[in-house]
Structure 1
Amino acid sequence: MKSKKLKLLASTLILVFVLLASCKNNDTFVGADNTTKSVSAKTSMEVLKTHFNDDGTLNDANNPVGNILFDFCFEFVYPVTLSYNNGTEVEIQNFNDLIEVLINMTDTLFINGIAFPFDVEVVENGAVVIRTINSEAEFRTLIEGCAIGGDDSCVCTEEYDPVCVEIQTPDNGSFTMQFPNMCFAECEGFTQDDVVDCDNNHPPGGNFNDCFQFVFPFTIIDDTGTAIEINNDDEFQVALFSTVSYEFVFPLSVTQEINGQTETIVLENNESLVQLLISCVTQSCNCPTVYDPVCVASPNGGIVEYENSCLAICAGFTPNDFVTCN
């Protein structure tokens, strides 16, 4: 059983928050002139720390969905300035900087302030929105609202029966978020009416590790337009945890076992990646090899071609989903 994240009790907001013992990253340190003491900053950061292991990798037990907006509560819009109890401020430029702060906390130095106003991304009514936090009172309201529906806890089983919902983004786009099962989706305020087909929206390299492996390093572009170099699976998980959408930089190489031999496949574009994902979904289907193509519309508006209707149905589509191929 997994206990739902972040339950904040106003009567016990006395969590001690700690700071970097060593300055191993490239954070910018400035004088403590801009920040305000904030119990909410201490509390929220202390809780966020529990989502990571000591080496900065994700704590899987506390991150069932794999995204900060659902497993935690919100994400800062960077940069954001925090202050330590010794009067020093640090400007956090990105999510990796924040992780460095979290994993280097000690019992003698701790964060006790933040610069207002600052912006955060949160999910409201099925959409990612940006909210400006102007004061400690507003920050407290934000973190107290993280227990969805006011529940003390939300307990779900580890059963993997994925459901997906469509989330709108601030730039009027959308993405599909996959939850391990309906319980986790309901804990975030979604209902059965919000559920959409998952189609092929499984995280590449995640659920498909038995099908192919990425060749590292490779680069993705996150939802802020920032290029992130990925050097291993742990870095990929952390990158996906902090972004609502991303794009691969091609060409991209993967390895796959074919007829008992490990082969390297170079993917030149997104279409070739989609075809690989389709093959992963359909490889267990007992479908004929006949080429009688059918097409379906992908969530991003493109057209995906299957070699025959059996493969399309195996991937979760029905004849009602078929569209005219270009």
Structure 2
Amino acid sequence: MRDAQLGTTSPVTTANLGLGLMGMSALYGPADQEEAVKTIHSALDAGVTLLDTGDFYAMGDNEMLLNRALRGRDRDQALISVKFGALRGPDGAWFGYDLRPEAVKNSLAYSLKRLGVDHIDIYRPARLDPNVPIEETVGALAEMVEAGYIRHIGLSEVGAETIRRAHAVHPITDVQIEYSLFSRGIERDVLPAVRELGIGVTAYGVLSRGLLSGHWTPDRGLSGQDFRSFSPRFRDENLDRNLSLVERLRKVAEAKGLTTAQAAIAWVAAQGTDIVPLVGARTRERLAESLAAADVELTQSDLDAISAAVPADRVAGDRYPEPLMAELDSEK
């Protein structure tokens, strides 16, 4: 793994690939906890440092999984990134977000306990709370930085104006946001803004929740517990159209000696040294495939061929259902 730097105003050194843990506990159907722990261990052993979780992933279970995986390991070997603020019920229902200063500190206290650590490296609100000015939320986070409970402040799925307002209160290390061949919205306003301010990007969804992996088939069944069963890109004719783009990408990837997933990950990484792709591998097999992408060097000719195979305006369906899209400050 090569080193990468998140941001320049409050720089964080990490590997040029991170591991997203969400699917190991929630939202993508059943997961094997034993295999998940072994996958995290394999990532750390390979030099991956950035491990991303959220306190609402299976209502804290994902944080406890990370706690278990880090036992007996050097705490400083991992760069722990935690999203917070989403409200959920015991039945898994979603109730919006609470980013009041007191809620920030309450969420942090519980995450520290579940993770079994004395500090979190990057702590970030999962979304914008429309009822709380971002300045108040970041102000509370800044107090927690001063107290030593968190090292750096990140943001997630916010637009350029919100990023500027937050950064004026306290330096923002990175913005976590979906970015892939299928999701290029950040190129309009967010990417120019973060680069102007010296803020890094951690890109999630680089394989578009499996669509760009090259392993998805049209007849794959999805349970009601799998978020993708509600995703517009996985529905009906949208799925067929999107998989046809994946087949075009596969041909370009194979000509380069890559798998489809490796080409998709390498494309994101090639968009800038300030971008660290997060892969959501749930098994060691998928992790190994993703890790191989970290050393891929794409020429301009390769990038042009990939972009031509997957034109941004040919992708069918939004990345979230309509009610969730309406919550995204990054899409406004």
- What is the TM-score of this pair, normalised by structure 1? 0.27
Q: Higher helix fraction: Structure 1 or Structure 2?
A: 2
Q: Taking CA–CA contacts closer than 8 Å with sequence separation of 6 or more, which of the two structures ends up with the larger relative contact order?
A: 2
Q: Which has the larger radius of gyration?
A: 1
- What is the TM-score of this pair, normalised by structure 2? 0.27
Q: Higher strand fraction: Structure 1 or Structure 2?
A: 1
